[in-house]
Amino acid sequence: MDTHDVVNQAPPREGLDEYGANAALTEAVDRHDADWAHHRLHLTGQRVGTASFQHDAARANRVEPLLHTHDRHGHHIDEVEYDDSYHRVIAAAVADGAHTGAYVEPRPGANVARAATFMLYAQIEPGHACPVSMTHAVVPVLQQHPTVAGEWMPRVLSPAYDPTLRTGKPSALFGMAMTEKQGGSDVRANTTAARPLGDGRYALTGHKWFCSAPMSDAFLVLAQAPGGLSCFLVPRVVEGSGVRNGIRIVRLKDKLGNRANASSEVEYEDAVGTLVGEEGRGVRTIIDMVAGTRLDCVLGTTAGMRQAVAEAAWHVRHRRAFGALLIDQPAMTGVIADLQLETEAATATAMRLARAYDDDASDAEVAFRRLATAVAKYWICKRGPGHAYEALECLGGNGYTEAFPLAMRYREQPVMAVWEGSGNVIALDVLRALAREPETLDAFDAEVSLARGADRRFDAFADHARALVRSVGASGGASVGASGAASGGASVAADAEPQARARELVATLALALQGSLLVRFAPAAVADAFVASRLSEGLGGAAGLYGALPSGVDAAAIAARA
């Protein structure tokens, strides 16, 4: 019957090269010295764009992980069962070096290429990115400690994936466990105890409120040793004996999103671990891993923004209403253009940050990434959920159904803002850096200032950012240390004014950095529209709803890049 013909619906968005289709990403890879990776990134883009990969991504989020605490005879096994689709997704990501590719082949742009690989996989299926990210982030910690590096580094650098729990594996994935019920971000309130065994190892007893990816081969864990809060490498299987370690998975978290990834509560019953670093220096030891995972929060959110705007743009380029394609109607053109602006800014920032993590980073680059990672983590991750919602709305009722990927993406984006320090923790960490590490502000300001003179509106906003730092940042860094751990210093009352304005400050710094990058590197239409909509009226434009662009911007040219 004619009334039952399916017309005016977008075809499946599959069979694409997701790398080649992403102009902002390909340009950034080229710009930041990773042009040598274009070929392999195109291959990855084609792989994640296939119908079969997208089917696996959808299935991994619907057939959720299942916890088995005991076998049928009553023995503790503490295993999480994943659907085969999840294993196929993560195996492909590891094979392509989304975890530790930058360390396997260190060279200028290595972290840029790895970041792009990570983003391409996370764009389609975000849950697997958690253990991939933690394995990437553990490498700088292992590198500094030869006692554990000799055993574990070859395994984390391997492109193989083996989901079984056993000894003798040539590959490994890592997780981390820091937070506890009573402390959350205040990890110095941890009560998990580490008892020396006399042979260089420790027995850990206690609990962790959040332990992501509990089927990882090993974890960095914070626990109270005789010398204070310390960092330990705790394997799932005790090396040499083949016996499963005393890690009991109590339950899996029933989460808003991130459904393909198992997050758990665990208890330790004399779990055997090896001290990493010195007793009492646990936060200092694990902080490099935290920095790496914070970077990947930026990458993961940016990947989600790309998926959201790409799906929305695909729909409106194939859907007609009121006699015209949706994309050709000015109201919709403005929405897609504004969503793309946000994605462009996030992509430019993420890739610039990734370049600062390469081995050839100067002292100034290290200082820049210290502050810029926290700033970007706060702002970009905060922008993710609203961006996903607006993209979902472009699909109308279809977007609200589970048959399309944007419902999953809408649930996914908030986790990036929560993981590795929620908003206040990150904002206070920025205050701490400004007060205690002034070289970070110098490096950040130098990067922002590279765009001065190109646009008077940007210059005015950069001046505003400097003035805000002088009035807020210089006096506000005393009370929060790494990962939110209280580190002494001024009282809360003394810090009340800087803390109350910390979010305003961090948002301003983020917009200044994004504006600088786009003014220097983006097409003129993108740079002009970003400055006009985000910087010309302070935070007014960025705080508003998507699609309300100022007059005079070239919305069609920007939307075309989506």
CA–CA distances in Å: residue 548 to residues 23, 334, 388: 24, 7, 17
Structural tokens at position 349:
């920032």
Q: What is the 3-state secondary structure (H, E, C) of 205-255?
A: EEEEEEEECCCCCEEEEEEEECCEEEEEEEECECCCCCCECCEEEEEECCC
Provide the token pair at 222: 């914070």
Spatial distance between the Cα atoms of 358 and 91, rounded to a whole number of angstroms: 25
DSSP reduced 3-state for 409: helix
Cα 196 to chain centroid, rounded: 35
Cα torsion 149, 151, 154, 158: sign: negative
CA atoms within 13 A on the CB side of 74: 0
CATH annotation of 174-281: 2.40.110.20
- Contact yes or no for 131/174 (Cβ under 8 A): yes
Q: Where in the chain is the domain with CATH 1.20.140.10?
A: 285-560
pTM (2 d.p.): 0.95
The fold of 285-560 is: Butyryl-CoA Dehydrogenase, subunit A; domain 3 (1.20.140)
Cβ density class 457-480: b for 16+ within 10 Å, e for less: bbbebbebbbebbeebbebbbbbb
DSSP-derived secondary structure for 126-183: -TTHHHHHHHHHHHHHHHT-HHHHHHHHHHHT-S----S--SS-S---EEEE---TTT
Question: Cβ of 9: how many Cβ atoms within 10 Å?
Answer: 10
Domain with CATH 2.40.110.20 in the chain: 174-281
Per-residue pLDDT of the chain (562 residues; tens, 9 = 90+): 688 999 999 999 999 999 999 999 999 999 999 999 999 999 999 999 999 999 999 999 999 999 999 999 999 999 999 999 999 999 999 999 999 999 999 999 999 999 999 999 999 999 999 999 999 999 999 999 998 999 999 999 999 999 999 988 999 999 999 999 988 888 888 999 999 999 989 999 999 999 989 999 999 999 999 999 999 999 999 988 889 999 999 999 999 999 999 999 999 999 999 999 999 999 999 999 999 999 999 999 999 999 999 999 999 999 999 999 999 999 999 999 999 999 999 999 999 999 999 999 999 999 999 999 999 999 999 999 999 999 999 999 999 999 999 999 999 999 999 999 999 999 999 999 999 999 999 999 999 999 999 999 999 999 999 999 999 865 554 333 333 433 333 344 456 788 999 999 999 999 999 999 999 999 999 999 999 999 986 444 445 789 989 989 999 999 999 9
Question: What stretches of 49-128 show up as alpha helix (H) in DSSP?
Answer: 51-62, 84-95, 101-104, 110-124
